Chain A
Amino acid sequence: MALQVGDRAPEFTLPRVGGGAVSLSAYRGGSVVLIFLRYLG
């Protein structure tokens, strides 16, 4: 079942270029634009 508007965004923690890791929940209280790339270019 595809995600719909109003669904809870799946939480994640991923390594970040430049070091460290980023969790989605770290931005609770602010809006996040999440862009999944197909390729870099």
Chain B
Amino acid sequence: MAQLRRHHADLRAAGGEVLLVCFDTRERAERYAQEQNLSFPLLLDPERRVYRAYGLEQGPLWRFLMPRVVLGALRMMENGRRVQRPQEDPLQLGGDFVVDPAGLLALAHPCQDPADRPSPAAIMAAVASSQVTTIGGDSDGQATTDARLR
């Protein structure tokens, strides 16, 4: 999230945005946005219609008991963070997508288990390549995008 925050200004300047979607209640989401001082829009999908449209399903229970998921939770607690109980459906999985300027998917990563998320670098690389493809990938455009990634 911190890396995305850093690239947020560039993304917005280029007409793009980072959109967060959650299925929590409006009250909890408002509290979270305040606590985190979120600069991204936080969208509410309590019925999870958009989750389903993007193919994000509920994971089988065993995936939540895998060692890396349990270890990830322990590491969070070690760092003093609370492991919060998902509000309504603990089995709902998340996902990360990059939509290019033409409205096509440049990255599609429905999470296979709770610890399965693409790296911020992979997300930003997909953003950069989607912009280069649309701009036409001339050498100047490429240089700008590379500079943005650093």
Contacts and interface: CB of A to CB of B under 8 A. Distances in A.
Interface of A: 2-12, 14-18, 22, 24-25, 27-41
Contacts, number: 162
11 contacts: A5-B107, A8-B105, A9-B105, A10-B50, A14-B50, A16-B41, A17-B44, A18-B42, A22-B19, A30-B14, A41-B81
B20 interface: yes
A34 B48 CA distance: 14
Q: Say whether chain B's binding surface is mostly helix, strand, loop, or mixed.
A: mixed
Given A9-B99, A12-B53, A22-B41, A33 B84 contact: no
Given A9-B97, A10-B50, A30 B32 contact: no
B59 to A, nearest CB: 10
B43 A10 contact: no
A3 B19 CA distance: 18
B55 interface: yes
Contacts of B146: none
Contact of A14 (B45, B100, B102, B127): B45
A39 B43 contact: no
A2 B45 CA distance: 20
Contacts of B54: 3, 10, 34, 36
B33 interface: yes
Nearest to A6: B104
A13 to B, nearest CB: 9
Interface string B24-55: 10101110110000000111110001110111
B101 A36 contact: no
B137 to A, nearest CB: 15
Most B-side CB within 10 Å, residue of A16, A28, A35: A35
Given A35-B21, A37-B22, A38-B114, A7 B105 contact: yes
